[in-house]
Chains A and B, each alone.
Chain A
């Protein structure tokens, strides 16, 4: 299926979860947060939250900032 990962189109398997989307972008094991279609997904629910065609996923981490 096609999903938008951080603004770019990605093709993931049809049973992909939020955890799979995160793995596609980073191997970091901490300091990462996810929004699925604009809503926060707690880390504890990354594996159990399935993605759907056209979903919009933001994967975020710390960046230098005032």
Chain B
């Protein structure tokens, strides 16, 4: 792993006690093949990818873990598909057994159609897993108060959605994302809803510390190309955030001086 390849040394990204060399976290769901996934991982520059835990498939071609190892990236297991805190906690413990990591992307879903988080179950699961020694990265709604509560119980980051998982609807409430960034002390990772590069750039311009992208890359017509686009977008958005944008104005402000104009 090349350390800090996409990161300005003056602006390091620390998550769960480690420094990551990219502010892009890639979800592996939706890739058409391991080869397509490997190309996307490499093109994205990511150093952290999510995986789900499912029943073993004796007929599965190749090993997802081998792909992840070859790319030299870290693995972040998720609790996707869990509807209760009890299920999610158990899944996290199984993932710890399987992958020897205490990191978990905590998902507790409240509804099959929207895949929106269930805030009550989410808080309960987060609290339990923090007590069990996990580094908990919860997928949450864009509610600033809920984000604060998750940070208060000891989550290592909060991961608010921009819009529902896989919807590609971008960031529906940028105001809330900005409030979350201002109100919590832990890293804020925009998770879910990103459709294209400008959405990722906007997340970073709003002050998010990182973005987590799956479908927008893996289900793009050209995943490797989109992974490259996201890589640039995340870096551009972060730079723009740190550069300090000009204020929005109702009227124009000339960039060429009027002084010294010829009389014609």
Task: Say yes or no for B99: interface residue by CB 8 A criterion.
Answer: yes
Q: Could you say which of B28-36, B195-203, B225-233, B248-256 contacts chain A?
A: B28-36
**Known contacts A33-B53, A42-B97, A59-B56; is-contact A66 B215 (Cβ 8 Å):** yes
Residues of A within 8 A of B27 (CB): 65-66
Q: Number of B residues contacting the other chain (C-beta, 8 Å)? A: 37
Task: Say yes or no for A1: interface residue by CB 8 A criterion.
Answer: no
Which residue of the partner chain, among B68, B97, B165, B192, contacts A33 with CB atoms under 8 Å?
A: B97
Contact between A61 and B94, CB atoms less than 8 A apart? no
Task: Say yes or no for B63: interface residue by CB 8 A criterion.
Answer: yes
Task: Say yes or no for A43: interface residue by CB 8 A criterion.
Answer: yes
Residues of A within 8 A of B30 (CB): 64, 66
Contact between A64 and B63, CB atoms less than 8 A apart? no
Contact between B52 and A58, CB atoms less than 8 A apart? no
Complex interface residues of chain A between 6 and 62 (CB less than 8 A to chain B)? 6-7, 25-26, 28, 30-35, 38, 40, 42-43, 58-62
Contact between A31 and B28, CB atoms less than 8 A apart? no
A-B CB pair tally, cutoff 8 Å: 95
**Which B-chain residue is minimally distant from A60 (CB atoms)?**
B53
Task: Say yes or no for B178: interface residue by CB 8 A criterion.
Answer: no
Contact between B28 and A64, CB atoms less than 8 A apart? yes
Interface residues as binary, B217-245 with A (CB distance below 8 Å gives 1, 0 otherwise) = 01000000000000000000000000000
- Other than the given A7-B55, A64-B29, 16 more pairs (CB < 8 A) read A6-B56, A26-B56, A28-B56, A59-B55, A60-B55, A60-B94, A61-B57, A62-B65, A62-B68, A63-B52, A63-B54, A63-B57, A64-B52, A66-B27, A66-B29, A66-B192
Listed in ascending order, the chain B residues whose CB lies under 8 Å from chain A are 27-31, 37, 50-58, 63-65, 68, 75, 77-78, 80, 90, 93-95, 97-99, 165-166, 192, 212, 214-215, 218
Listed in ascending order, the chain A residues whose CB lies under 8 Å from chain B are 6-7, 25-26, 28, 30-35, 38, 40, 42-43, 58-66
